Structure formats: structure tokens, C-alpha cells
Amino acid sequence: MVRRAGCPVLGGSFFGQSGLSMPFPPSAIVATASEASPSATMSTAAALAPLFTLRRIRLRHNPPFMADKPRVFSGIRATGDKTLGNYSGGYRQYAATQESGDAFFCIVDLHSITTPIEPADLREYTLSGAAMLFATGLDPERSTVFAQSHVVAHAEAAWLLSAATSFGELRRMTQFKEKSEGQDFVSAGLFGYPVLMAGDILLYQTEIVPIGDDQRQHLELTRDVAERFNQRYGDTFTIPRGVYPEEGARIKNLQEPERLMSTTRGAPQGVVRMVDEPDVVRKKFKTAVTDSETEVRHVPETKPGISNLLEIMSVATGETVADLEKRYAGSGYGQFKVDVGEAVVALLAPIQERYRELRADERELQRLLAVGAEKARNASEPTLEAMYDRMGFVKPEAGRFFGAARPRGL
Ligand code: TRP
């Protein structure tokens, strides 16, 4: 019997529940991984292309939980237009994460209703967010990609954990203070946001949480709540660790290189959207702001525009900034800007093709999400059951109903 280290509750029943009482032959895992994982030196565009073809995905019902790899959980907000900044700081990292961990990627739609959102927008952002995750390289067979609302355990866990979270702790959260300030309607959900997030993470016995720096306080709270629960009710949760991206590798607006690339703020002409047509992309790079010198060098303090373009080119081609500086030594800005634009067009082309195909095929998208939800349900159930049990809830003898089963044919 394989046991996941640092996973106090699950012990034997975990793999039993997921239909895996025998360890999966390691050779099979290695073969799949080496077939599909691109060599680290390949360009990102080239690396993504052969990952998988949507039509040909074959899914195992109960894929092996990778006992030798750390459990990774990431929650992704469902938002509108996705930019090259989201790609650099998010999607690209998720695809890399799936190589190194037993990864769960959850589109956190339940979190979306903590601030006002139109129902039609929530629906669109959830589906387009899922399509973009698959289009940028998440492989539904190796990773677990799902919508939070499809796995009822998340809402339940949040309620149970709210008993181990204090009003004072939540009141101190800076994100709550920022988002509630000056609003005439502040939802109770916004206040409880971090508890729902703690549930997301703890349900999966997560070891590693790749997360933005702005979420540090929420992760610390998650650890505190987990420790408190463990103390009160007995060891139940793995204490997760946050992994924060390095500062600096964040793409800026092409027109205002001192601010991050985002669709909500900054000149739209400087924002490259993941779905921009090639000619639109080319034009945005041609008109990107630079400086009055001529040297292509990475000096963010004095040459923010050119430094940003160098970073973007590095993201698009996989080459290092230092190598790019050498290649463009003495060549002037004009050609460099054209080349960065072309590199980004080449990066986006296969992503856009897969995205369009998948976004247009809602049934296939639903099928992929159903597969993810089923895997997530299997993985979270033992933890949720242990939570109920240890807190003293009567176990229903007829069995608990854990969400919907996957309908036939999906
Ligand atoms: N709060 C996170 C953000 O704003 C999203 C999120 C929700 C999350 N649940 C999570 C991130 C669990 C990591 C793990 O980005």
C-alpha cells in the first residue's frame, strides 16, 4: 500500500477510495511523462504544440495519484479578458507545475460571487477560463482541472472550517479591508472568502500552493486554521506551504511600462490579450513605448520599456534575457520590436486555435470539467468525511450523498 507522506487522515482508505489499492506501475507513469513533457530548452510555443490534441484525449476514470510527487493545489479566479500578463504569471506556470507535482487546478467560481457579478458574466468567465487552462497546456489526464461549484465539498468545508476561524482573524485581512472600503454593499461572503479558500486547499491534503504575493495573508490564515482544527479535533490536515513567484518576472503594459499589464487599468493599446488577432498583436508591439537610447539592454530602472520587451520575448521563446541582449547588440529598436511581436504571434497561434475550438464546443468542455470534478470529488471526500466525523456529526448510515455522479456518456 502506498501512503502519501504527511497525510494523516487518509492512510489506507485514500487509495482504496480512488480505486487504486495497488501502486500504479512506475514504468507506466514514466513513459507517459517522457512522451508528453517537452524538453526544458524548447521554446514555449513549440513545447505546447505536441502536448495533446483535444479530440484524442483518452481519460482514465481513476488516474493514479502520484505518490512520489507533492500534492499541488491552485485556485484560479474566473475573470474576463485574459492577457499576456496572465499567461506569464499564471497559465505558463500551471503548465510547468503539472510536470513536477500531482496538481489540482480549480476555477474558483464560488469565490466570484463575493463581489457583484452578472450571472451571464460568471458563466462566461468560468467556461472561458477553463478553455484557456486547457488551451495553454493543462492536460486533463495528468492534472485535475475542475470548477469549484461542481464539487460540493468546497462549500461544505468552508462552513465546517468557519467554526475554527475567528471573527478577529477575518477582520484583519487586508484584502477584505481593501475590497470593502467605500462600498455600500459588502457581502458576508467577502468576509468569509478566506475560509472558503482554506477549504479549497485543505480538502486535498495539499502540500504546495503556488500563489500570488497578494494572497500571502490568506495562506497564513489557512495554515493557522488547519493547525487549530488539528489541535481541537485531531490530526486531519496537511499544513500547506505557499510558493510565491519571483518578483520581476511580471509583464508590464506596453504603453505604460511602469504598471502591470491588466485589462482593468492602463492604456488598452498596451495590453496584449490572449485572443488578439495577429495583426493587432504586431501593431501593439510596433507602437510599444521605448526610450531615447538605441541599445537593447535589460535595465528596468532606466529602460522599463525595452526591459519589458526583453522579458516578453524571453517568455515567448524560452531564451534567456542575457542571450537576447547578445543577439540584439547594436541592432537598434525597430527590428527588435518587430521580432518580439512575431515571437508573441507564434506563441499565441496554437493557443488561440485550441482555445477557439474548445470554447466553441461546450459539450467537450463540460466533459473535461466533469472528468476533473469526478477526480476532485474522489480526492476530497475522505478529508471531508474525516472533518464531519471528528467534529461529532452523526454519520448517516444510509451513506452521504457526495455531489452528482458523472452522467453516462460524458
Ligand atoms: N484567492 C485566490 C486569488 O485571488 C484564488 C484562490 C481561491 C486560491 N482559492 C484558492 C488560490 C486556493 C490558491 C489556492 O488569486
CATH assignment of the domain containing 220: 3.40.50.620
Residue 60 lies in a domain: no
Residues 231 and 275 in one domain: no
| pLDDT tens digits, one per residue of 252-295 | 999 999 999 988 888 999 999 999 999 999 999 999 999 999 99
When the pLDDT of each residue in the chain is averaged and rounded to a whole number, the result is 84
Residues 153 and 166 in one domain: yes
Residues 377 and 352 in one domain: no
Residue 46 lies in a domain: no
The residue from 358, 382, 401 where one domain ends is 358
- Range with the lowest mean pLDDT among 60-64, 291-295, 366-370? 60-64
Q: What is the pLDDT of residue 408?
A: 63
Q: Please state the rounded mean pLDDT for residues 65-81.
A: 84
Residues 176 and 293 in one domain: no
- Range with the lowest mean pLDDT among 52-61, 148-157, 164-173, 314-323? 52-61
Residues 372 and 348 in one domain: no
335, exposed or middle or buried, with CB in 10 Å at 0-12, 13-18, 19+?
exposed
Residue 85 lies in a domain: yes
pLDDT band at 317 (very low <50, low <70, confident <90, very high): very high
Residues 278 and 227 in one domain: no
Pocket test residue of 106, 179, 241 for ligand 1, highest count of atoms within 8 A of CB: 106
Are 320 and 40 in contact by the 8 Å Cβ rule? The answer is no
Are 317 and 343 in contact by the 8 Å Cβ rule? The answer is yes
Q: What is the pLDDT of residue 64?
A: 47
Residues 382 and 354 in one domain: no
Residue 12 lies in a domain: no
Q: Whose CA is nearest to atom 2 of ligand 1?
A: 75
Q: Please state the rounded mean pLDDT for residues 17-21.
A: 30
Pocket-forming residues, ligand 1, beta carbon under 6 Å: 73-75, 77, 108, 111, 197, 200-201, 209, 211-212, 215, 218
Kind and range of the H or E run holding 216: helix 216-233
Residue 404 lies in a domain: no
Residue 287 lies in a domain: yes
Give, in order, the Cα–Cα distances in Å from 350 to each of 49, 69, 366: 6, 29, 22
Residue type for 232, please? Answer: R
Instruction: Provide the domain count of the chain.
Output: 2
Residues 220 and 340 in one domain: no
Which domain range does residue 377 map to?
Answer: 67-248+361-391
Adjacent-strand bridge partners of 102: 71
Adjacent-strand bridge partners of 74: 105
What gap in Å lies between CA 229 and CA 219, rounded to an integer? 15
Q: Whose CA is nearest to atom 5 of ligand 1?
A: 75
Residues 223 and 302 in one domain: no
